[in-house]
Every structure is written in structure tokens, then in C-alpha cells.
Amino acid sequence: MKKIIRLTESELVSLVKRTIMEDNTTLLDKIMAYQGDNQFLKNLSSLILQGGTPNSSQLEKAQSEFQKTQVVDRNAFSREISGTPQKNFKDANIPLRRTIINKGDDLYRNLKNSKKKVIFEIGNYEFATPNQNWITENKNSMKELRKIKYQKRLVELIVIDETSKDDKKVKIANTLHDWIEFFLEKLNNNPEYFLSYVTKKDKNWTQLPKLDTNWKNWVRLLDKLNVENKLGNVTFEEKVNNFFEQKKLEEVVSNEHDINLINAIAQKEKFRISHLSLAEYELFKEQEKDYVETLSMIKGTSDKGDESESKFFTYLEKNGINDLISFSTPGNQVDIIFGVDLLMKFIDTDGSIYWIPVQVKSNEEQAKKAMLLGSGLGGISVFESKEGWRFFRKKYGFSESFDEKILRK
């Protein structure tokens, strides 16, 4: 014979609450931790955190909303490719980072050489040739680079023939002298070759061209769209492809105001924008705030490099090395093309004079794979360690003490 237990109304409610809580522990944890934009889940999270208990129908709807929105980690991409400092970045997804950098580089180059660039000229920036001051400074820098007098064949450096319809890669020079002459000819006779994202008012070079390979900024945007479930429930690699892939305009832009604005700008220039990538659309929207977040991300990276350069200059001057030529002006092509931050005059024990090209990096990992080390110019990359300034002579080699080997202390 079954024993019948009679409960008061309050006891029955309490039992139901406990049963609901016990059966939905994982779901409740997800609701309490929710930080997305779904208003129903936000309200339910607030209810639980304030001591309330959702009923069964609310929990069923919450489960449905989670399945519908596929809520994801807000910093999934960042964690995937940043690595952890404790493990010296060895757990970072380097191939994925490299893919993002390459695709970002392609996007910027293709964008600035297409008619589509006009939709990115709404605010205070535009794609144009930098001003005469910039041109003069770069001419002088190219001429100073001749001091290296390094005439061996360089590692094959190639450029994109932007006059070609298929963006064919072409080799345009063998020696450093050839390269310098090539770029001087462009600066003198065809400065349009250096088309960049400049200020509308003064045609000053800006930091915006650095958005091409600034993977941290692309990851910021990837994380944003990932949370909004606009990249699909696929692998990280496939999500990156979705982000940079050209798609029909209507598939990417759902905001009617933006579609009308894009179409109006294109029609004014007598062409039609039929395709856009999610990456381009995110940059398009950032114009409203003059790229504040993008510039902040770029500045964070650039400031570290600038600080390291400044400290290295101070270190050299304190040690009596004052014959230095810097290429640190904004948009300096010697820095961008050759990876040379400065030339340092060096007198060998036999009295021979050399001008050593130097690239300054903010840490050992970056210095080890510095661009200059792979160019064939015979330069060094330097970084500050706990033991003082050290340098690499070749890519992925071993570091040496600057004090001992260069200053001979």
C-alpha cells in the first residue's frame, strides 16, 4: 500500500523549484553566465542572479533560445590564436593567425585598387596619394639607404603589378641598388603608386593602412560576429573564410539604411557594388566613429614598437654611437618595404666603416622572425631582454649580446 504524503502549497512550490533546479543545473549555469544580446536570456539571467527561480516553460524557451542563437565564447578567436604568455605563445594557433594576416593583406590591397574604395571615404579619410612632405621624406630615406652599399643579390622580393588585370606578381629588381632606383623613380614620376588611406584635409599618412596585417583587430571583429552567429557553426578556419569571402550585398548587409547608402555612393560614381565581404562591411560601419576602435588596436601594437625604438636609440647614444639614421617617420617606405628601422654606423677593428641596417622589435619572438633577417641585406634585429639588448643575425637563429659583440664591452 502506497503511502500518501500531503504537502502544503508552499512545500509543493519549494519541491517543484528544487526539482527544476536539480534537473537543469547546466542550463541554469549557462543562463547565469550569459552575456549576449538576447533580451529574453538577459532577463532570465537577471532573475536567477537576484534569487528568483524560472518556471519550466521559461527554461524550455531558454533551451530553445540557446539552440537558436548557438551562443559562443565572446573571445573564442582571441584565445585560439593569441596563446598564453605562460607557455610563451607555443599554444597559439599560428597557422590560423597567418591565414588572417594574409587575407587581411589581400583585402586591403584589393580594396584600395578597386572602385569599391569610395564607400570607405564617407568620413575624414580617403584613398589618395600622400602629400608632398611625405614624398620628399621618402626620397631622402631611399637615398640614405644607399649607405649600406650592399650589392649582393637579395632574397627574391616581388611586388604586385597593379596595372595587370590579374594582379600578376613580378620581380622588378635583384640588388638593393636596383630596388632603391625603382622606388625613387616611382616617388619622382608616379607617386600614385603609393596610394594609401590618408586624411582628407591634409593628405597626411595615417595608421589605417596597418589594419591590413593587424591580426588583433581582425580577431576583434571576428569575435564580434562569432557571438552574433554570423560566421556559421563551423571550424575556426571556415569562419575566417566566411568573414573574408565576397558575397552578394544583400547576404551581408541587412540594414536597409546601409544598403541604400552603399548603392547611392556607387551610383554617383557610375558603378554598382554587387558583392561585399563581412570584413569590408565591418570596416564600413566603423567609419561612423572614425575608426576609433581599429586605430586603438593599431596604436596599441605601434606604441610597443615605438617605445622599443626610443629605448634603443637612448641606449646607443649613452654608449657613444651617435651616427644613426632613422626611418621612423609615418609611412616610411624603407621601414615598410625593407624592414629597416635605422642605420647604425659601425667602425670595425681594422678601421673599416659599415652602415648596419637594424630592425627593432619589442620581444625575442618577434626579433627572431624579423622581416629584415630574411631580406638578404645582412642586417640585425634587436630586442631588450632581462640581460640587456640582444640581437639576431639571421632568421630563427640564436641571439647574441649587443654589448659583447657590437660594443665589445
Q: Where are the alpha helices (DSSP H) in 288-392?
A: 292-318, 333-338, 364-368
pLDDT in tens, 235-247: 999 999 999 999 9
Residue of higher predicted confidence among 152 and 185? 185
Structure confidence at residue 70 (pLDDT): 54
For the stretch 166-193, pLDDT in tens is 555 666 666 788 889 989 999 999 999 9
d(CA 80, CA 205): 33
pLDDT greater than 60 at residue 165? no
Contact 228, 37 (CB under 8 A): yes
pLDDT tens per residue, range 322-360: 899 999 899 999 999 899 999 998 887 788 888 999 999
Which ranges constitute the DSSP H helices of 113-214? 132-145, 176-189
Spatial distance between the Cα atoms of 135 and 333, rounded to a whole number of angstroms: 10
Phi-psi region of 340 (alpha: psi -120 to 50; beta: other; left: phi over 0): beta
89 pLDDT tier (thresholds 50, 70, 90):
low
Domain boundaries, the chain: 9-69, 92-292, 303-405
> Is 135's pLDDT higher than 80?
yes
Calculate the dihedral angle through the C-alpha atoms of 111, 112, 116, 120, rounding to the nearest 10 degrees: 100
Alpha helices in 113-149 (DSSP H): 132-145
Q: What local confidence, expressed as pLDDT, does residue 155 receive?
A: 55
CB atoms within 10 A of CB 194: 19
What pLDDT does 15 receive? Answer: 42
CB 331 within 8 A of CB 205: yes
* Backbone φ and ψ of 390, nearest 5°: -130, 165
Residue 17's pLDDT is 43
Give residue 201's pLDDT.
Answer: 95
Q: How much is the average pLDDT of 196-222?
A: 95
Residue 394 has pLDDT above 90, yes or no: no
- Cell numbers standing for residue 42: 538577459
What residues contact 398, with CB distance under 8 A and at least 6 apart? 392
C-alpha cell at 248: 552578394
Residues in the chain: 409
**Residues 322, 344: Cα–Cα separation, whole Å:** 8
Instruction: Classify 192 as helix, strand or coil.
Output: helix
Residue 139 above 50 pLDDT?
A: yes
Q: How confident is residue 22, by pLDDT bands cut at 50, 70 and 90? A: very low
Residue 13: pLDDT band by 50, 70, 90 thresholds? very low
Flag whether pLDDT at 8 surpasses 90: no
* Percentage, residues of the chain above pLDDT 70: 83
Phi/psi-derived region of residue 396, left when phi > 0, alpha when psi is between -120 and 50, beta in every other case: left
Give the model's pLDDT for residue 16: 41
